[in-house]
Structure 1
């Protein structure tokens, strides 16, 4: 197949790279209009609207939202129905994800000034979180673990999961993952109506404080619309992988790592940076050999043709510079001395160190979260973690002694801003009160 070949030595390389990275993020007007109507309807009619949309879009025969809720016993039955191999894999992944995230919680802290004032920070978990899990064509038990376990580690009081079941088809691995992760309630609903139900609450579905989890264009548009009413994790773009290789890794390994993101969808992006042009030829040959063996070869081919690239760079220093500019979701350092280059990377959602660390391990069972910033947002945002399910309150206790000093400072600044009530509030606490 034809995959774009670039060289950093080309005079127009900057323009070529810019074109490669370009991604249209504008919302589809028809999708946005449909979502706006659904949100308003669910907000107004609650359960009745949720049932109507679910029966229409997912071809279900339900008369109430209660018909769409799964019991904890049903989740446990799904877990018990798994083969021994599947259950062991799911339990092992859950244990590793939990162990990693148990290192993350923020802690409350405080200190006292010499004048007896106390300053600090109180950390508390969110009360209730909604977890959106895709259904239908895409069913991801790994996403259940990655979103639910950090929430539970954070101490979230209640975790409500929504998952569409088109035609009544339920994925046992998804439900089993919910049982393992400790999800409290599960509703078989999806789409914008599920986001609306979580954001506004209905007669049966409780309103949540934050919504996390991936979804289609309608779900993404709905999450944008309800942000501010509830928190959201992020509105993610297509999946991305960037591999920096020195030519020491088997080309088949790198080709398959590129495939691992390309198979997500046609808009996914897979890029290889290497200073050895001959090695790029070997990877290109490996791609041609391996692609016909892939069940999702049509998706991979379309993705690599549209947004993939093999890029020849001058050296590994330049590769790191380009990587920092791209700020990829997944960055593989497939290098003989990979650890020596980690400090050169400033912007990446997750960094996979060494040739044996395939990105796919991070997706399922390495431990760190696979919900990562995309489309260059790793420049300013981070992977999903326990801290996303905690909030911070400032603690301030001013002593009578400190009020004398701080009151004068506040009074001066408040008068300077033209806010006399602010100034007078501070002045009242002074033992030799200022003003009248």
Structure 2
């Protein structure tokens, strides 16, 4: 490491101390002061001392999992892991196992740690739970590095391409019923110019009835009539359709000019997804069930999607998301990161990654999570006119209130109403 980098690193750690939230200007020290910190750093470089987890119950949807990484320099970092219903504790267990291999390491060596996890810890056999765990840790390490240098994380990733990030509203109509038009109008009144929703009745099966197709088309029509032509409608399918249904429904809703058609079929079969894309005139989105760069390669090579929606909390973290975006650029594919997570740490990590991607379009904001996310955040982020402004503070620019986290401590959700055995099969 060069003298300038070491000097800046030592200066940032000394200036922030345990507060880790001082304004950026406070770490601009003189060259002599930096040299003094360099000597100090040579004797005692920063090391990770602890990794803590916080499972939070927001009251609806799913539990959230936060990671706090602490160092001997008094600087800590926050991250967030993707969770699913009934899998939150297993993901937390992965974080705890990974902590054994992180404690004692230099938090600056982010790429080395994630590479070691994928190749050595997991023996190249990772899955969603592991990738979610390492994603949360990775974010926390970036938060530490940014705080120690006194600069936002996006400045460490090449610098921002924009000064604000467009978001779309999700979570406003999780179970669409009568009155969904009014709910959509309410989100538009709040400033959102893009709404995502799933118009299909359950359960999630590949072959659906004509009645279900009609219901989906009627739902899209109703939302379009409610909000008018200028609001972008993002159609979510949740990987539930066979290609023939996905194609037929897409053609029927084209008249309502959807902004996109998300995961019409599972990305487990990239050829089928590519067939759907070639058969319709709507932008196809996929990626939330794919992890790390390796799993996005086939999507790009087979030209199976127009838009990738990798999630910073399960794809491998901030740097992995940025690299997926870089892979997509020469294929003229754009990035719209998925974010079925809290609107606190996960949103912050997403914003920093989106800031540095030239091919970014829009990202996700769950309005039904905002109240609790704001309650646990020291200085909550706000959406204004459908955008989130880039933070200017060091690191991720967000801090959680640990007392508030205890107030929303983990509770197990009731067992879900999964399909039972019956005449129609599974």
Q: Give your verdict on TM over 0.5.
A: no
TM-score with structure 1 setting the length: 0.24
Which structure features the higher share of helix residues? 1
TM-score with structure 2 setting the length: 0.24
Structure of larger gyration radius? 1
